């Protein structure tokens, strides 16, 4: 049986439920401090990669605002694959 390093190190089974398909549609939560009262609570993005240099979270592209977002609070729609415009 092949074990991943995480399982060997922690003694716990590795879970893969936080993995996403690259370029899939993702919705990122906008913190209450940043948005106004009637503004949307999430923004639509494209999932690009996981955190850089071992940081936890996801790297996402907000094509509407032309902005790169790093967040650990995202919901993926893996049925919709998007492309950068």
pLDDT for 16: 73
Q: Which pLDDT tens digit goes with each residue over 26-83?
A: 999 999 999 999 999 999 999 999 887 767 789 999 989 999 999 988 999 989 987 7
67: which 2 tokens?
């902005």
Instruction: Report the run of H or E that residue 10 belongs to, with start and end.
Output: helix 5-10
Return the residue matching tokens 């790169």: 68
d(CA 51, CA 54) in angstroms, rounded, equals 6
Return the residue matching tokens 């049986």: 1
Q: Which pLDDT tens digit goes with each residue over 16-32?
A: 776 778 889 999 999 99
d(CA 78, CA 76) in angstroms, rounded, equals 6
Return the residue matching tokens 């609070």: 73
């Amino acid at each position: 049986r092949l074990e991943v390093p995480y399982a060997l190190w922690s003694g716990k089974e590795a879970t893969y439920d936080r993995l996403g398909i690259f370029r899939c549609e993702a919705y990122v939560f906008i913190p209450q401090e940043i948005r106004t009262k009637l503004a949307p609570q999430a923004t639509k993005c494209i999932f690009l990669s996981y955190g850089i240099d071992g940081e936890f979270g996801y790297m996402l592209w907000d094509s509407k605002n032309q902005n790169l977002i790093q967040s650990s609070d995202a919901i993926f729609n893996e049925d919709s694959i998007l492309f950068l415009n």
